[in-house]
């Protein structure tokens, strides 16, 4: 199975200064060594980055039409350490001008998503590790708001996935 050391997600943005202010309000930092007048390097984790690129620069990275603002081309899913951290981050995003998109609560899996100022959808999720290790999961009353209930299989946490 391929293993990657770093992850860079490239996203087109309309206004770099506005995007910088938005993500700074959420508590994120930027790697200034990779920021310039055309792009910002948003630090998502030790080896995870989102490159926020001026739309014209982003268009040069591919040979297909770029999705127009407001169209969803992907959902970026990030983990949080607790349900409270999920809520805190999404609530900050909404206060900073983002839009609350979706909430899902399956008991052992809780997530919310927001769209940023350019319409990119960011999902923030927390997963209780006990059901993945063979413990009981309380899925009673699980619900999804503004969407449909997820019906997929949760992968086992084994040494290869950690």
Q: Which residue has the tokens 């959902």?
A: 75
Q: What is the 3-state secondary structure (H, E, C) of 87-101?
A: HHHHHHHHHCCCEEE
For the chain, what is the total number of helices (H) and then of strands (E)? 4, 9
Instruction: Enumerate the domain spans of the chain.
Output: 1-63, 71-142
What CA–CA distance (Å, rounded) separates 120 from 22? 13
Q: What is the reported pTM?
A: 0.78
Name the CATH superfamily, with its identifier, for domain 71-142: 2,3-Dihydroxybiphenyl 1,2-Dioxygenase, domain 1 (3.10.180.10)
pLDDT band at 148 (very low <50, low <70, confident <90, very high): very low
Give the CA dihedral 80, 124, 51, 8, nearest 10 degrees.
Answer: 70
75 C-beta neighbours (distance < 10 Å), count: 13
For 78-89, the pLDDT digits (tens) are: 999 999 999 999
User: With 50 as the cut, is the pLDDT of residue 160 above it?
Assistant: no
What are the pLDDT digits (tens) for 48-61?
999 999 999 999 99
- At 4-25, the pLDDT tens digits run 899 999 999 999 999 999 999 9
CA distances from 153 to 95, 150, 156 (A): 34, 9, 9
Kindly report the CATH number that applies to the domain delimited by 1-63.
Answer: 3.10.180.10
Helix H or strand E encompassing 84? helix 83-95
């Amino acid at each position: 199975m391929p293993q990657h050391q770093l992850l860079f997600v490239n996203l087109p943005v309309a206004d770099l200064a506005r995007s910088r202010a938005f993500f700074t309000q959420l508590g994120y930092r930027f790697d200034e060594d990779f920021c310039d007048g055309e792009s910002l390097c948003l630090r998502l984790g030790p080896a995870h980055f989102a490159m926020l690129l001026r739309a014209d620069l982003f268009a040069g990275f591919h040979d297909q039409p770029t999705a127009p603002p407001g169209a969803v081309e992907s959902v970026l899913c990030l983990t949080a350490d607790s349900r409270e951290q999920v809520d805190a981050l999404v609530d900050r995003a909404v206060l900073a001008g983002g839009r609350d998109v979706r909430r899902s609560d399956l008991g052992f899996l809780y997530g919310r998503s927001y769209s940023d100022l350019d319409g990119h959808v960011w999902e923030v999720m927390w997963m209780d590790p006990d059901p993945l290790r063979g413990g009981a999961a309380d899925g009673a009353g699980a619900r999804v708001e503004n969407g449909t209930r997820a019906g997929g299989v949760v992968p086992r946490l084994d040494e290869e996935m950690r």
